[in-house]
């Protein structure tokens, strides 16, 4: 499916959850190390869990709870989270537009990591969900 959302490098240690509040299907997840669970809340920070998944141990070990993860099997490509006024650090890209570090790549205006190759996150967001 085209239009899937991919969260990239700038979310790491930012994680303000603005995207969680605009996602209509609660497919943007956080990792809870205590329960070893990926969970999404009805609204960011409300503690009411809508969905949960088990993480792939090897993949979740890379960034753990320092970033959020889109479950692309659940994303409906609604476009809400990658509108320019949502993520304060421009970390969310459409899958087909995730920049690869080349000079022709188009970066989000607020992305502080312009010039980085973010394509790693396309596969990583798929690998992090074990079920």
Binding residues for ligand SF4 (CB under 6 A): 5, 7, 11, 14-19, 22-23, 25, 27-28, 68, 70, 75-81, 86-87, 89, 91-92
Please state the closest distance from residue 103 (CB atom) to ligand SF4, in A. 25
Sheet holding 69-70, edge to edge: 49-53, 37-41, 28-32, 69-70
Query: Residue 67 CB: number of other CB atoms within 10 A?
Result: 23
Instruction: Pick left, alpha or beta for residue 87 (phi over 0 → left; psi -120 to 50 → alpha; otherwise beta).
Output: beta
Helix (H) or strand (E) holding 93: strand 92-94
Please state the closest distance from residue 100 (CB atom) to ligand SF4, in A. 19
Q: Which is nearer to ligand SF4, 104 or 106 (CB)?
A: 106
Q: Which is nearer to ligand SF4, 65 or 100 (CB)?
A: 65
From CA 11, how far away is CA 89, in angstroms rounded? 7
Please state the closest distance from residue 126 (CB atom) to ligand SF4, in A. 14
Q: Which is nearer to ligand SF4, 7 or 60 (CB)?
A: 7
């Amino acid at each position: 499916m085209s239009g899937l959302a991919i969260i990239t490098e700038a979310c790491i240690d930012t994680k303000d959850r603005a995207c969680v509040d605009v996602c209509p299907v609660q497919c943007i997840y956080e990792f809870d190390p205590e329960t070893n669970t990926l969970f999404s809340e009805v609204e960011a920070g409300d503690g009411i869990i809508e969905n949960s998944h088990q993480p792939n141990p090897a993949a979740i070990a890379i960034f753990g709870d320092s970033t959020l993860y889109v479950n692309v099997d659940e994303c409906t490509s609604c476009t809400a989270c990658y509108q320019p006024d949502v993520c304060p650090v421009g970390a969310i890209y459409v899958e087909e537009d995730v920049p690869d570090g080349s000079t022709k790549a188009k970066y989000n205006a607020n992305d502080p990591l312009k010039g980085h190759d973010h394509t790693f996150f396309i596969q990583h967001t798929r690998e992090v969900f074990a079920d």
